[in-house]
Amino acid sequence: MSNLPDTVRLDGDCLEIIDQTLLPGQVKLLRLRTKEEIYYAIRLLKVRGAPAIGVAAAIGVYLAVVEFENKKFDDFYDRFVLAKLYLNSARPTAVNLSWALDRMEASLLKNRELATPQIINALREEALAIWSEDIEVCRRIGEYGLKLLEKGSGILTHCNAGRLCAVRYGTATAPLYLGQERGYNFHVYADETRPLLQGARLTAFELAAAGVDVTLICDNMAATVMKQGRVQAVLTGCDRVAANGDTANKIGTLGLAVLAKRYKIPFYICAPSSTIDLNSATGADIKIEERDAEEITEMWYRERMAPDKISVYNPAFDVTDAELISGFITEHGVISAPYGNGLRGLM
C-alpha cells in the first residue's frame, strides 16, 4: 500500500477528506464541519466512490446535529431528518449514501429514550463503526477476489474503485493491493474513464504510488488490449446492484462487459453488500445521474473544445446487464449466476 492518508475519516469535530478534484497534481486534505460543506464535497466529487460517500455522509449527519445537544428529542430528531434529506440529495445513484444515512437514523431511533448528548455519542460511534467496517469489508473482498486471479495476470479496471473510493483498500483494487503484497505480479490496465478521468487521475495515480505495475489506456483502447491477449480478467466496482444482478457503475462499464463477453474474459463486479439494493428489481429501476455538459465541453481544456450551444448528453453511470457479469465478489464470498437468489440470500 502507498503512504496516502485515509480517503475519509472523522478527526475531532471535522470530516477530513482528500480533495480528489486536485489529484494527481496535489494531495490536499480538506477539513469540513458543516452539512453544506459536506454536501458540496460530495456533489462536486471532492469525495467520491460509493463506499467513501457513505462514510462521509454518516460522519456528516453526525456533525450536523452535534450543536443541538440541548434540544428535546422531537426537535433534535426533526433537525436530524432535515440534515439527512439534504445530504441524501447530493448524488442519487450510489446506494451507499442512503444506506449509511438510514443506518444512522436507525441508531438514533434505537437510542431515543436516552438523553440527547448520549444519542449524539451513539451517532458518533455508529459513524466510526461504518468507517472501520468499510476497511474490513474491502480487505475481505480483496481476499475473495485474489482467489479468482492467476499470478502474472493482466487486469483491466475502469473508473476508480480503489482506495480513493473507499477508506483504505478500495473494492476492485483490493485484490490488486493484496496481490502486490504477496508477489502476484499483476499488470493492471487502467481505463482513463472519460469525461471525469478518474482512471487517469486517481486509479493510475494510487496504483503507481503503491508500486503496482500499471499502464494507462484511453477508454477506446480496451478492445484492442483484450484482443491482443493482454487482459485475463476485468474488475470493476459498482454504485448500485439491483435484485436481479443488473449493476450501475461509472459510464463505460457496460461497454467493457460487452467486450469481455466477446473475448471470453471473466468480468467481475466487486460489490460490498451495502451496494446491493433489493428494492430495485432490475437496472431499469435505478435512477441514473446526469451531470453538467461542461464536464465534456470545457472542464479539461484551456479553451472550449465543442461548438457553442451544442447538445450534450452526460450520464454519469450506465447499467450492465446481469447476463454479462461473471460473478459478484463480496465481503461474504463470490456470488455466481443466477444472481437473484444469491443476492437475496446474502442480504
The per-residue pLDDT for range 252-288, each reduced to its tens digit, is 999 999 999 999 999 999 999 999 999 999 999 999 9
At which of 98, 120, 139 does a domain end? 139
Residue 337 has pLDDT above 80, yes or no: yes
CA dist., res. 320 & res. 177, Å (int): 25
Q: Is residue 47 part of a domain?
A: yes
Residue 203 has pLDDT above 90, yes or no: yes
Say whether both 180 and 132 belong to one domain.
no
% of the chain with per-residue pLDDT over 70: 99
Q: Report the pLDDT value the prediction gives residue 265, as an integer from 0 to 100.
A: 98
The answer to whether the beta carbons of residues 340 and 245 sit under 8 Å apart is yes
> Which residues are catalytically annotated?
239
Say whether both 227 and 294 belong to one domain.
yes
Domain count across the chain: 2
Q: Which domain holds residue 82?
A: 8-139
Q: Report the pLDDT value the prediction gives residue 225, as an integer from 0 to 100.
A: 98
Mean pLDDT of 43-48: 94
Q: Report the pLDDT value the prediction gives residue 2, as an integer from 0 to 100.
A: 64
The answer to whether the beta carbons of residues 235 and 178 sit under 8 Å apart is no
Q: Report the pLDDT value the prediction gives residue 4, as an integer from 0 to 100.
A: 86
Say which CATH number the domain at 240 has: 3.40.50.10470
Q: Quote the pTM value.
A: 0.91
Residue 94 has pLDDT above 80, yes or no: no
What is the pLDDT confidence band of residue 1, given thresholds at 50, 70 and 90? low
Q: What are the Cα distances from residue 327, in Å, to 57, 136, 155?
A: 29, 21, 15
What is the pLDDT confidence band of residue 229, given thresholds at 50, 70 and 90? very high
Q: What are the Cα distances from residue 12, in Å, to 24, 32, 58, 297?
A: 27, 11, 15, 40
What is the pLDDT confidence band of residue 14, given thresholds at 50, 70 and 90? very high
Identify the CA nearest to 21 among candidates 161, 189, 166, 197. Answer: 197
Q: Report the pLDDT value the prediction gives residue 31, as an integer from 0 to 100.
A: 98
The answer to whether the beta carbons of residues 339 and 328 sit under 8 Å apart is yes
The three cell numbers of residue 140 are 475481505
Q: Is residue 1 part of a domain?
A: no
DSSP state of 288: P
